[in-house]
Amino acid sequence: MPPAITDSHCHLDFDAFDGEREALVARAAEAGVHRMVTICTRLPAAPGVRAIAEAHASVFWAAGTHPMSVAEEGVPTPGTLAALAEHPKMVGIGETGLDYHYTADSAAAQQESLRVHVEAARRTKLPLIIHARDADEDMARILQEEHRAGPFSCVMHCFSSGGALAKAALDLGFYLSMSGIAAFPRSAELRDVFAAAPLDRILVETDAPYLAPPPHRGKRNEPAFVAHTARVGADVFGIDYDAFAAATEANFERLFWKTVADRPPEAA
């Protein structure tokens, strides 16, 4: 059997997987992907995402309002997010963040929503899951301001920004998640950003159904394919696949503590 590995971010509730979620989870297991976190990006969809996690022992879930949805859905409250976190398999807050690529017109609402999600992460002690696109300066500034106001844990999901935001996140003790983008042939500069990070701050993910890594690029992504990205990650860090898988497993369980424990580490 291949070494165990976790897909730390996917979207199993999306229509692309209708009718084959059982098979998808089985294929993931065959590839060594023994655990995955499916992410709810619109709070009205939370019951369906929760049901997927309840139906599969290997699936956990997280919930938040995606920055591209804030204008339509409005800003949630910390209490709403914290209430969802009472579910035993709800393990993270988000994804939240800033996206100025397509939705810069809602920047103010996105920033407000991000700060609300940070407060929910503080209350629940669950990790914040961040989406950042074309908003590096505002993202670094808000994360630094909020961390000074009260600590919280965080992963920069599908990290594809530059070295400045990577350093800002790492300096706060946050994690960087490597997606299929890092495996693309033209992503040498991004791989250099990851190579400069400590190995104990790295996660891997698919963001399925998006961003399939080679040799599946251009096709629908799925959790089993995270193993391909992890092999690239092993090369980036100059270690064998088994060692990289073991390191990212330890990192995932440290950050997403609720997948393995009843209380956060500092309360144990």
User: Residues 198-254: pLDDT tens digits?
Assistant: 999 999 999 999 999 999 999 999 999 999 999 999 999 999 999 999 999 999 999
- What are residue 59's DSSP bridge partners? 36
- 11 annotated to a ligand binding site: yes
- 157 annotated to a ligand binding site: yes
Q: What is the pTM of this model?
A: 0.97
Where does 5-262 sit in CATH, by number?
Answer: 3.20.20.140
- 95 annotated to a ligand binding site: yes
- pLDDT score of 268: 42
- Structure tokens that stand for 44 in this block: 């009205």
CB 180 within 8 A of CB 206: yes
- pLDDT score of 267: 58
Residue 94, helix vs strand vs coil: strand
- 9 annotated to a ligand binding site: yes
> What backbone torsions phi and psi does residue 12 show, to the nearest 5 degrees?
-70, -15
Looking at residue 38, what DSSP letter applies? E
- pLDDT score of 13: 97
CB 127 within 8 A of CB 121: yes
- pLDDT score of 41: 97
pLDDT along the chain (268 residues), means of 10: 96 96 97 98 97 98 98 97 98 98 97 98 98 97 98 98 97 98 97 98 98 96 98 98 98 98 76
Looking at residue 210, what DSSP letter applies? S
Cα–Cα distance measured from residue 230 to residue 34, given in angstroms and rounded to the nearest whole number: 14
